[in-house]
Structure 1
Amino acid sequence: MLQLDLEWCYQSQVSCNSSCLGPDKWHLEASATSCEGKSQSPVNIVTRKTVPDERLTPFEFTAYQQTFNGLIKNNGHTVQVDLQHTAKISGGHLPSTYKALQLHLHWGKDGSPGSEHTIDGEQYPMEMHIVHIKEKYNSLAEALGDTTGVAVLGFFYETSASANKKYDPIITALKNITETGSNTSLSGVSLDMLIPAKENRTQYYRYEGSLTTPDCTEAVVWTVFENTIPLSKQQLSEFSKLRFGDGEPMVGTFRPVQPLNTRLVYRSGSSVVLASTALLLASVMAAVGL
């Protein structure tokens, strides 16, 4: 059981010479036994099996438009930006108001597949997680003691022909945090700038799951949005220039999808409305002979 002292790592870091615990062995960490739980994340979302839920209304995003000054860091596993608690989310059938704690990303290699969640088996180049905790809690550790204490918003990226200028501050900052443990200042950025426009945030999936890194605590209300964020191949490739603690390229920073087991994945009411509208239109056209 000497493995209990080893650090966890991603599959991309596992080799004959490595001494870290890959995803299939995370549960061997003394504090990560939850990684073998029945409600783990990420998952593959099979759209035809999702359940429409009209309670999943549009979110209320508070102070998402405010620009902030903060630190962006290479924590040895990903890029992370700590957020001030002014940004909050509510609505969307969440059980409470949640305040933003941090955001981080998961990616492949030079723009190749690297998202954690998948849609009908499709893996996107990158995925961002904006982590929130219930307003009443003071830390992530405290929130994890509540089965719905954490709310994470997941956003997918897609490769675009042109660069996304809104991401310039982040892409520029990456050059200064290539080494594990390094950080640099990030300014002039708002959460609104980093995610799809407000009108493109109404279609999403919801399920109950876990953190996607050890200790994999099952205390997360997951919201995964359908609409993607565009980044150029060059912008996506910049993330692969970062390095893990052992000096190797930071690539493949995602946990493989986990069994859904008995859980259901719900889809937002707006998706239902759109589908119903399409069916109604088709019926009308058929009725008038179009």
Structure 2
Amino acid sequence: MASAGSKSWVTMLSLLVAAQLQASLAAGGWDYGKNGPNRWAELFPKFCAGDKQSPIDLSTQTALQNSLIRKYVFHQSSIAAGVKFTLKNDGHKIELNWSPELSITMGQTAADQMYTAAQLHWHWGSSDQQGSEHTLDKKSYAAEGHLVFYNSKDYANISMAASRPNGLAVLGVFYEVSANDNPLFKDLEKALANDTLINMGGAAEVAARTDFNMFSTFLPSNQDEFFRYDGSLTTPVCYESVLWTVYRQAVPISARQLQMLRRLHYSDNSSMVNNFRPPLPLNPGNRPGTPRTLYRTFSAGAAGLAPSALSTVGLILAALLAGRLFVAVEL
């Protein structure tokens, strides 16, 4: 007869195997069509039906203005000979990767660079009126880029960090159609024009400029105004492990550059467009647990939503008393 200890061990092992199996299914059994975002919570309830899902609507009125939130301090090593950038089509999106010799990090201070960048990817629409995952006061943008970091202070790699609390941090940037080309996409155009990238599994090398800087090329010029909140990955497995920073200012992208994205194909060879998850509630109704708080670093300005100095102090004190302010802001 099996002992209680061995039964407990078998039960734990079974639960672990089941969780890994579901995560594996989540990684491959979804798309943006028949098994699209409206079914992810049903298909993967363990991962995609939680209380802290992303994206959300970044409502200026709902967000709590907090001048104590720090913007990140960035660092990138020099681009030495042999460093390579590669664009790949994974069947859901395109993703930019780079050689491990290139270090791209960020943190609260120059000395505390706790996050290491792992990849950059994009979501876009079939028209210029949609494509972003987050919305800004209900407004959608033509595309959204995500620079994904993992907590390299506590975890050895992104695979270990992805499912852990405070495991990931993502910088989100909106793209707005403009007469001007986007400087980052100018660097990517030759690779995007390569027919090997069109279908799933395709990849193309990107020429690396020695003066290339990820942060100055990807981020908007105004890096002081942003939203921050605790959320999740926006695709299965939807782990709720992400500290999101989404910038208020959009960056330009030309119609010509957007068309280069829209020529790509999903895994079923259909056009890769509308590869975004629609916004979800900041705090779903009738759910237990501590509500999420959306923070912003700027005044609501002309919309007339800026709180008075007194109300600002009151809101910050309320957040402190609730134990939320620095939990959400500091890592």
Matched residue type, 2:38:
D
Aligned pairs, number:
262
Q: Note the C-alpha offset of 1:59.
A: 1.7
Structure 2: tracts of 5 or more residues without a match: 1-24, 284-290, 309-331
Give deviations 1:66-97, integer Å, cap 9, x for gaps: 585221100000010124461111128xx972
Q: Note the C-alpha offset of 1:165.
A: 4.3
Partner of 2:150: 133
Tell me, in whole angstroms, the C-alpha distance in 1 between the residues paired with 2:172 and 2:184: 18
Match of 2:64 among 38, 42, 51: 51
Tell me, in whole angstroms, the C-alpha distance in 2 between the residues paired with 1:253 and 1:175: 20
Contact 1:80/1:102 (CA < 8 Å) preserved in 2? yes
Tell me, yes or no, if structure 1 residue 178 matches structure 2 residue 198: yes
What is the DSSP-based 3-state SS (H/G/I as helix, E as strand, rest coil) of the residue aligned with 1:223? strand
Partner of 1:17: none
Tell me, in whole angstroms, the C-alpha distance in 1 between the residues paired with 2:91 and 2:274: 13
Partner of 1:200: 222
Give deviations 1:191-244, integer Å, cap 9, x for gaps: 1353235x5111100000000000101000000001111111111121000001
Q: Note the C-alpha offset of 1:171.
A: 2.4
Partner of 1:263: 292
Match of 1:40 among 44, 53, 75: 53
Give deviations 1:263-286, integer Å, cap 9, x for gaps: 110012xx14989xx999xxxxxx
Give deviations 1:159-209, integer Å, cap 9, x for gaps: 111223442221221122111100011122431353235x51111000000
Structure 1: tracts of 5 or more residues without a match: 15-20, 281-290
User: CA RMSD of the aligned region, Å?
Assistant: 2.8
User: How high is the sequence identity, in percent, across the aligned residues?
Assistant: 33
4+ residue segments displaced more than 3 Å: 27-30, 64-68, 272-275
CA pair 141-166 structure 1, distance change in 2 beyond 3 A? closer
Q: Which has the higher strand share?
A: 1
- Out of 124-133 and 164-173, give the one that drifted further: 164-173
Tell me, in whole angstroms, the C-alpha distance in 1 between the residues paired with 2:189 and 2:127: 14
Q: Larger Cα Rg: Structure 1 or Structure 2?
A: 2
What is the DSSP-based 3-state SS (H/G/I as helix, E as strand, rest coil) of the residue aligned with 1:173? helix
Q: Note the C-alpha offset of 1:29.
A: 4.2
Match of 2:95 among 68, 80, 94: 80
Match of 1:27 among 31, 41, 45: 41
Partner of 2:261: 239
Tell me, yes or no, if structure 1 residue 142 matches structure 2 residue 160: yes
Matched residue type, 1:36:
A
Per the normalisation by structure 1, the TM-score is 0.82
Per the normalisation by structure 2, the TM-score is 0.72
